[in-house]
Structure 1
């Protein structure tokens, strides 16, 4: 729905086109010509069950994430991915009869008690024995994730894929040597085509037709938390099992001082230099993927700002140079970052906060301090890390995730949360999948992620996007705005993209002659009705500026068109290749302090569309067009949009940029140093009151489920400051919505080659 509130149109001049050098490199992304039939489908690739540190079973998370009736936010595709390492809980056991299937019935102990997903492997009926170098004491010994993936998680996901006829497969949120976490998978062997015609068992027991052997081997070889030395075998020293060797073609392998001959893998020592040694091992992991599974794997650093800057002596965050290193080594595999993190309802949104990470005895901020409108600073800051990477012409895309673990202070079936949203409930990635008339399969989904033809959105702010750039020349080659708008309208309404000579969409490159005009058309669907928020009372953030808009009926306020210039890949070792994001960014967000390596000073908002400058395209669709005048240098354009206008206190600045989420974060903040006196108490940063008193506000102790009447007043779980409820947790997330598109590149003849895209 269009908002009745009209803000002043942002008047921004187009920066003069600049020249640049050229660069030759191997292109990796899809071309615009002759594209197969496709559609945008929504999914999630980062979430957790009791196989790692989640709160529910595999069956329950699949149902919650994909069901379109009991949980109406059901996704089109789903990757179940938990932490690497080990765990002691049998996540294949279901909670209740609603999750029971013929092949995986409920399991009871010898005394008749239901065994749910928190039952340990060794307490299960029958007991399951962990393999390899086992840690802990029975019956709580831990199973290595490689065994869990190979023998238990993959078979149940394959079965559910076939039984529900849903595109499900397995990934891992790997614990990264030298860094924090990455969402990844190797899909080789998973969900074979013969599964389409398989006869599923009518009784307990399922033998998978495919396998996750490649993913299990990668996890054993390269996850930082996998310290097993058993080579995927029954016991250390046994030859019964996988007999894995983690050698990488062309690398030192056993000649590396970090090589463990028993484990047949790199096992870098901790202590001084551990971060550098760990990063080197991670580069070997990417080389392994590129050598053995180049088209069937992906690797997207997760919530990559959360753990702060890179620590050469430990395992913390990712600086821009590490992202460059990854993409240089494996551009077909490391093609983006998960910079819109999950944990959106946490007391520290995204679990980002100031003074979060202890590095060398000092508590250091998450990069950027907090999230900014729910997005990490690398993706949220115009001209920051993402724009620096795009300004090189890299194929490096923006992704979001749920990072589901639990509901915090509520049970998993409650609609309220003080921690996580379910996959698809709040955030989702819309990805162009070119499956033609075939069913959705893991390979087509991975190919879609790789293409960059995708956008991410929170709170169902939009659910369709046609984003097109076309070349226009004087004379016969002239394209009027209406012609390009028509292409964008057709694409958005048909939930597909454009296949037209002289035009390109997200993740693609438009090659033009010098002097061309670039016609950029955007069509979105701002859906009427309600989103999946359980709250119907007015948005407290918008009430600050006199807008009465229900939290469960958000309206798109504006869309920013962002442009940056492309100047080519930066050289490893050069002054502009490496650099950490400034600490204390929350208190001093000054781009002049950002190292040259981590910014693109040409990136800027060149147009802000709103109800004064877009037009109704019918059936909830909005259309808008902008012409970039005669171009002389290679560049890119991308989009972001929000339900919040500029100058919303504590939410947006005067230009509509998101502000730090610190003022809706209820968490207590660490002191700068252990024992210091500058800690911040919980709730001390909260600034936005929630004042609506409703007639349907359930107590915290009562379970509020799907299908119940919407909560019409500020909920009981919001924190109170000086007797007033304050905006925080899930309410803060539903109040502050954003979408981000991936870029369209424009390569101008005679200017810099956009080397990362064909």
Structure 2
């Protein structure tokens, strides 16, 4: 049975400066590696032939952000955009307000005529405000687009993006409007009556059952096969909302649309980390976050590994789920601003930063996700003497080939940790990676619907096969910490990474290198609670890569 973390104590100064457990952002001392994977014996790897350096760029963004147009959010659109781009340096962002009746415009002003359809608010207020700001020279060169968060009947939330165009996509306001009509239970009076008359000829509305969810994926695939996405947000936040068979069915129905999970969830400023508020009982251990990461992704050999073990291209993303950081009453906290704490890094090929390029790159899997700027650069590849491939790709090898796994990462000089929270005073916390785990699992092919394998939510082959500390990596000419690991190809596998600032066994935080379930921060006084939550988060940093697949011929 999994252990549970100890409740953090209220503190008046940063925990990392007082507890003496580890340095701010990480430890400078190598962690023991005698458990949960070991550092490999020194090898002389066969260096793969290096292909021509690909043309492109790493970009940072956030796919899950709310503004005051969401009924449970309060931050005006302009404030969100200022934080995301001017303060936190993101390159792209999706505004993804709830697909529910919206009571306010983009400034946060209450609509005089009452609530309107969320998609109508996107078309009338959100998209024009973004376009006007960029036309006036704000957020130059930044990619900002509108999506929506849908309450999936019988499940939880789906991040839905629907786009029109050919060469350069743009948000389809009409597509979101039609999706909202067909797949929610909003009153038909919220929609244009001419549209309703036409849509009624296409069939009944469908927003109450699991079958309706599957039909929603089919609808996206039929109408926007190459220009939409449907990504699972905070999958384990509430008990009983999904089985692994649900994920498989969604991915089988529309693999180019349901290709991602928000494993590194937002709402990190909640006392219950990530907003995972289910009772703190052993029965709900699968409904906790672990180092801020959803159980689906954090569990080695769990649901994500079960999907990867079938060869499914399902990727992990990190988001802010920003609604507000601290509300105006100074009583409640929710989530960091976009780019402040959570970042998803995606490689964009070429020199284009348009939406079509981003969507293609999202599907590619060449991306990684990070909390608290633990790292800000990662190269992760597998190669033989003749070829190599990066995250999201598949290396083809022959049985007996020597395969070299190459890991290169950097950390910034400081992250965004501030004390007190909201003061704007950055304490120049330097994030330090304590260790990196190389995780591997077998790939055996897709399970068939209706079979026991389709309901199996573990991958028993998945293990931490190596743990690296600073004793194992060297700083290369580009300033990257560089590691190589060589093995002999024998079967189809995938490899993925996780890293942390924590040691292997930190009381209440890690056990044998694995993150322990996050506990609620219980501090009565509001300002002290906000600081304790912020300290909790910045003392517990992780990054996760997407996998590299190796196919053995």
Output the TM-score relative to the length of structure 1. Answer: 0.63
Structure 2 match to 1:302: 233
Contact 2:285 2:517 in 1 (8 A): no
Residue 160 (structure 1) aligned to one of 133, 138, 142 = 133
Taking the aligned partners of 1:355 and 1:244, their CA distance within structure 2 comes to 46
What aligned pairs does 1:95-494 form with structure 2 within 5 A after superposition?
Answer: 117=108, 119-122=109-112, 129=113, 141-163=114-136, 164=138, 165=140, 166-189=142-165, 212-222=173-183, 224=184, 226-230=185-189, 232-233=191-192, 238-239=193-194, 241=195, 243=197, 245=199, 254=203, 259=204, 265-268=205-208, 278-309=209-240, 317-355=241-279, 368-408=286-326, 418-434=333-349, 436-438=350-352, 440-471=353-384, 479=385
Q: How far apart are residue 419 of structure 1 and its match?
A: 2.3
Query: Separation in 2 of the partners of 1:153 and 1:244?
Result: 26
From 507, 511, 529, give the equivalent of 1:718: 529
Structure 1 residue 47 and structure 2 residue 65: aligned? Answer: yes
2:388 maps to 1:533: no
Distance 1:220 1:33 in 2: 49
> How many pairs align?
510
Kindly indicate which of the two structures has a greater share of residues assigned to strand.
Answer: 2
Going from structure 1 to structure 2, the CA distance change for 1:120 and 1:433 (only over 3 Å counts) comes to same
Which residue number corresponds to residue 730 of structure 1? Answer: 534
Structure 1 regions of 5+ residues with no counterpart?
A: 16-31, 94-116, 123-128, 130-140, 194-208, 248-252, 260-264, 269-277, 310-316, 357-362, 472-478, 480-500, 538-549, 579-596, 668-681, 684-698, 701-715, 720-726, 750-758
Aligned mates of 1:246, 1:520 — CA distance in 2:
55
Structure 2 SS opposite 1:395:
coil
1:542-595 deviations in Å (ceiling 9; x for gaps): xxxxxxxx88222110100000000110111111212xxxxxxxxxxxxxxxxx
Kept after mapping to 1: 8 A contact 2:26/2:431: no
Q: Which residue in 2 is equivalent to 1:38? A: 56
Cα distance, 1:646–1:632 mapped onto 2, change above 3 Å: same
Equivalent-residue separation in structure 2 for 1:571 and 1:227 (angstroms) = 36
2:147 touches 2:171 (CA, 8 Å); kept in 1? no
Q: Residues 352 and 190 from structure 1, CA distance in 2 versus in 1: closer, same or farther, beyond 3 angstroms?
A: farther
Closer, same or farther: CA 266–521 of 1 in aligned 2, 3 Å: same
Compared with structure 1, are the counterparts of its residues 330 and 463 closer, same or farther at alpha carbon in structure 2 (3 Å cutoff)? same
Could you tell me the TM-score, scaled by structure 2's length?
A: 0.85
SS at 1:143's partner residue? Answer: coil
Q: Looking at CA atoms only, which structure, 1 or 2, has the larger radius of gyration?
A: 1
Structure 2: runs of 5 or more not aligned: 1-24, 41-49, 422-426
* Residue matched to 2:78: 59
After superposition, the Cα gap between the structure-2 partners of 1:39 and 1:47, relative to the gap in structure 1 and judged at 3 Å, is same
SS in 2 for 1:623: strand
Rounded to whole Å, the distance in 1 between the matches of 2:26 and 2:290 is 24
Cα deviation, 1:676-722, whole Å, max 9, x if unaligned, reads: xxxxxx78xxxxxxxxxxxxxxx97xxxxxxxxxxxxxxx5139xxx
Q: Is the 8 A contact 1:300 1:337 kept in 2?
A: yes
- The CA deviation string for residues 49-96 of structure 1, in whole angstroms up to 9 with x for no partner, is 1111211111221111111xxx2x2211011111111021122x3xxx
Query: Are the aligned partners of 1:650 and 1:659 in contact in 2 as well (CA < 8 Å)?
Result: yes
Q: Secondary structure at the match of 1:649?
A: coil
Query: What does residue 46 of structure 2 align with?
Result: none
Superposition deviation, residue 189 in structure 1: 4.8
Secondary structure of 1:66's partner?
helix
Indicate the structure whose relative CO is greater, using CA pairs within 8 Å and at least 6 residues apart: 2
The CA distance in 2 between the partners of 1:80 and 1:190, in whole Å, is: 22
Deviation at 1:502, TM superposition (A): 1.5
- 2:229 and 2:257 in contact (8 A); partners too: yes
Q: Deviations over 1:300-345 (max 9, x none)?
A: 1100100112xxxxxxx22211110010010001001001110112
Instruction: Note the C-alpha offset of 1:353.
Output: 3.5
- Asked if structure 2 preserves the Cα contact closer than 8 Å seen for 1:49 and 1:55, the reply is yes
Residues 157 and 627 (structure 1), Cα distance of their counterparts in 2 relative to 1, 3 Å cut: same
Q: Deviations over 1:233-269 (max 9, x none)?
A: 1xxxx42x5755278xxxxx74xxxx3xxxxx2254x
Pairwise CA distance, 1:454: 0.4
